[in-house]
């Protein structure tokens, strides 16, 4: 029974990856802002290699960032020109299934720990002009989560020998403030890190966000260190209940590298009580922390996770939804 279930799960995971291929990103560094190795779940990575290289093999640098402290873990894999590599994020020892095609000669880098969540950066470090494409599919039968998404393109087309690797400073916070620590100040951008963080009634949906701080991760990756970019979220002085009434009170939350954000993290105790179980709306703004000019943070990626409770009834109950929040939302 276990083998049958596992084969079904693998087939479904790989099928979702293939269906999402039309939406894949293409770059030398790709950011996958969410994976999970929760028991029973499968996060499946699909990578494909371009045609421009003359090298027999291309090195792929995998950098996993995981857990509450956003710990760095990395190693080097390998692909060849026009190659396709599909594999579970988790190693077999951590509950994964390995490569989708066991005979595949490519070399993936697995994540070795079960029951973790985090984000992943994959970079080609051999040929400057070589492009990689990729997407992530996640299936969790326990929560009903079944999603796929394209990797996010990096800022630098040349990631050979670590140059420009992990530079996601193209994900801007915009507005009037400029981060002087970034190589190319981005004041010319007018979009801002404004998120409309809405949440349903807590009696039918449990809502959270997995937030990843974007920016130039290159120096941290080169040093083998944890990414310490920081963004502070603020509720801008208030929260709205489900009937448009403003409940004033300012709350902020600082995210270092990555972490979970709950609606209550951006509300005072009085706001939580006043909003009650009926849901609400927070107009949140993110501001990169540039203390001492050392932070290379430039933006924030927020993935909304909604778990639908039994009270919602069929066909919703038992499902989990995940999507990337729109920035510049107000």
Which of 177-191, 239-253, 290-304 has the highest average model confidence (pLDDT)? 239-253
pLDDT attached to residue 258: 97
pLDDT attached to residue 173: 56
Sorting pLDDT into bands at 50, 70 and 90, what band is 187? very low
Q: How far apart are CA 271 and CA 236, in angstroms?
A: 13
**What mean pLDDT do residues 289-312 have?**
85
* 123 neighbors 60 (Cβ within 8 angstroms): yes
Domains and CATH numbers, the chain: 2-162 (2.60.290.11), 194-324 (no CATH)
pLDDT attached to residue 275: 94
Sorting pLDDT into bands at 50, 70 and 90, what band is 4? very low
pLDDT attached to residue 32: 97
Is it the case that residue 117 has pLDDT exceeding 60? yes
pLDDT attached to residue 283: 96
- Could you tell me which residues come within 8 angstroms of residue 315 by beta carbon, excluding any fewer than 6 positions away? none
**What is the bridge-based pairing of β-strands 42-49 and 194-199?**
unpaired
Is it the case that residue 174 has pLDDT exceeding 80? no
- Could you tell me which residues come within 8 angstroms of residue 273 by beta carbon, excluding any fewer than 6 positions away? none
pLDDT attached to residue 297: 87
Is it the case that residue 99 has pLDDT exceeding 50? yes
Q: Which of 145-154, 165-174, 222-231, 279-288 has the lowest mean pLDDT?
A: 165-174
Quote the pTM value.
Answer: 0.87
* Residue 17 Cα to chain centre, angstroms: 16
Is it the case that residue 18 has pLDDT exceeding 50? no
Is it the case that residue 124 has pLDDT exceeding 50? yes
**What mean pLDDT do residues 48-67 have?**
86
């Amino acid at each position: 029974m276990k083998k049958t279930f596992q084969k079904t799960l693998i087939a479904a995971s790989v099928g979702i990856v293939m269906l999402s291929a039309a939406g894949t990103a293409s770059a030398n560094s790709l950011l996958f802002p969410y994976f999970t190795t929760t028991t029973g779940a499968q996060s499946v990575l699909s990578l494909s290699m371009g045609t421009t290289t003359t090298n027999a093999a291309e090195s792929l640098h995998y950098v996993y960032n995981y857990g509450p402290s956003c710990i760095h873990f990395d190693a080097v894999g390998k692909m060849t020109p026009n190659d396709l590599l599909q594999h579970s994020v988790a190693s077999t020892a951590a509950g994964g299934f390995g490569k989708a095609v066991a005979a595949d000669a490519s070399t993936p880098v697995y994540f070795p720990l079960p029951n973790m969540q985090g984000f992943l950066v994959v970079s080609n470090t051999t040929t400057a002009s070589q492009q990689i494409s990729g997407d992530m599919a996640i299936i969790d039968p326990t929560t009903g989560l079944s999603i796929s998404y394209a990797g996010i393109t990096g800022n630098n087309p040349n990631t050979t020998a670590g140059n420009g690797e992990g530079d996601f400073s193209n994900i801007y916070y915009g507005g009037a403030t400029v981060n002087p620590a970034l190589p190319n100040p981005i004041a010319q951008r007018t979009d801002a890190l404004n998120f409309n963080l809405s949440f349903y009634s807590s009696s039918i949906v449990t809502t959270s966000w997995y937030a990843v701080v974007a920016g130039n991760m290159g120096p941290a990756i080169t040093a083998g260190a944890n990414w310490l970019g920081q963004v502070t979220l603020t509720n801008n002085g208030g929260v709205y209940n489900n009937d448009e009434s403003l409940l004033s009170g300012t709350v902020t939350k600082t995210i270092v590298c990555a972490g979970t954000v709950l609606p209550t993290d951006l509300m005072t105790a009085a706001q939580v009580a006043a909003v009650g179980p009926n849901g609400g709306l927070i107009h949140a703004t993110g501001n990169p922390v540039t203390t001492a000019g050392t932070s290379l943070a430039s933006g924030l990626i927020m993935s909304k996770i909604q778990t639908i409770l039994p009270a919602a009834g069929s066909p919703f109950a038992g499902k989990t939804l995940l999507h990337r929040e729109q920035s510049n939302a107000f």
